[in-house]
């Protein structure tokens, strides 16, 4: 069945100029890109993304990693891939969480490493399952930033919310 998944190219991927290689490898999946953008990750966004790991000893370092504080590259590339079995296909191409256990030809197997502090610098994030994909896509993207209608939307009025706009 067709489904969607969230991919992050993490700061180490950007720092090491791996974006092109990673996107080429992902294109082997024949999936479609439904959304893409560069994001400077706030503490709040990082904490929400890694909520499930809050109790882990490596949590603080993980937040620093995704925010680019370990690489001097404060950005990630965020993508939504859509198509048949998108979640498993991308997870397989990404490889195991631990780069030392990842298949040698997977993205994490090729480009990942374990730091001296024990963090898995595994270059890429990919949603684990449909529930996680939905949570993550809704966290990283607004409905209009994705070209397909992946989840139900509604119109809401937010009259007193200040937003930054282009100066006229
Ligand atoms: P997790 O959500 O468990 O794995 P995945 O990214 O494959 O879905 O972990 C999130 C990130 O936390 C993982 O990409 C790298 C880091 N991490 C470590 O550094 N050490 C660990 O022991 C684990 C489990 C994760």
pTM: 0.96
What CATH code is carried by the domain that includes residue 118? 3.30.70.141
The whole-number pLDDT of residue 146 equals 98
Comparing CA positions, the residue from 34, 8, 23, 26 lying closest to residue 151 is: 34
Is residue 155 one of the residues assigned to a domain?
no
What value does the CA radius of gyration of the chain take, rounded to a whole number of Å? 16
Q: Please, what sign has the CA dihedral across residues 2, 38, 102, 61?
A: negative
Ligand 1 site, residue 137, Cβ cutoff 6 A: no
Give the C-alpha separation, 142 to 116, whole Å. Answer: 37
Number of domains in the chain: 1
Task: State whether the beta carbon of 65 lies less than 6 angstroms from ligand 1.
Answer: no
97 CA from centroid of ligand 1 (Å): 6
Asked if residue 152 belongs to a domain, the reply is no
- Report pLDDT for 42: 98
Confidence (pLDDT) at 29 = 97
Residue 33 forms beta bridges with which residues? 81
Mean pLDDT of the chain: 97
The boundaries of the domain holding residue 126 are 2-145
CB 80 within 8 A of CB 33: yes
Q: Whose CA is nearest to atom 13 of ligand 1?
A: 97
Mutate which of 12, 41, 53 for ligand 1? The one with the most ligand atoms within 8 Å of its CB, which is 53
Residue 40 lies in a domain: yes
Residue 164 domain-assigned (yes or no): no
In-domain check, residue 154: no
Indicate the DSSP class of residue 145.
Answer: G
The answer to whether residue 163 sits within a structural domain is no
* CA 111/CA 13 separation, integer angstroms: 8
**Tens digits of per-residue pLDDT, 17-27?**
999 999 999 99
Q: In the chain, which stretches have pLDDT less than 70?
A: none
Question: DSSP code of 146?
Answer: S
Tell me the C-alpha distance between 94 and 123, whole Å.
Answer: 9
Residue 106 lies in a domain: yes
Q: Answer whether 120 contacts ligand 1 (Cβ < 6 A).
A: yes
Q: What is the pLDDT of residue 45?
A: 98
* Structural domain includes residue 71: yes
The Cα–Cα gap between 56 and 129 comes to: 21
pLDDT tens-digit readout, 82-110: 999 999 999 999 999 999 999 999 999 99
Q: Which two tokens stand for residue 17?
A: 């100029």
pLDDT of residue 27: 98
CB distance 16 to ligand 1 below 6 Å: no
125 labelled catalytic: yes
Query: What pLDDT, on a 0 to 100 scale, did the predictor assign at position 127?
Result: 98
**How far, in Å, CA of 76 to CA of 93, rounded?**
19
């Amino acid at each position: 069945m067709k489904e969607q998944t969230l991919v992050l190219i993490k700061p180490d991927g950007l720092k090491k100029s791996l974006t092109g290689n990673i996107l080429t490898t992902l294109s082997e999946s024949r999936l479609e890109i439904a959304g893409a953008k560069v994001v400077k990750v706030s503490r709040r966004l990082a904490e929400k993304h890694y909520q499930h790991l809050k109790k882990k000893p490596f949590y603080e370092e993980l937040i620093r990693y995704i925010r680019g504080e370990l690489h001097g590259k404060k950005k990630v590339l965020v993508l939504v891939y859509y198509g048949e079995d998108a979640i498993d296909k991308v997870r397989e191409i990404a490889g195991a969480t631990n780069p030392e256990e990842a298949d040698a030809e997977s993205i994490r197997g090729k480009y990942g490493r374990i730091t001296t502090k024990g963090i898995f610098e595994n270059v890429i994030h990919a949603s684990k399952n449909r529930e996680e994909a939905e949570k993550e896509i809704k966290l990283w993207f607004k409905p209009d930033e994705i070209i397909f209608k992946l989840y139900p939307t509604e119109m809401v009025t937010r009259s007193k919310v200040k937003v930054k706009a282009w100066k006229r």
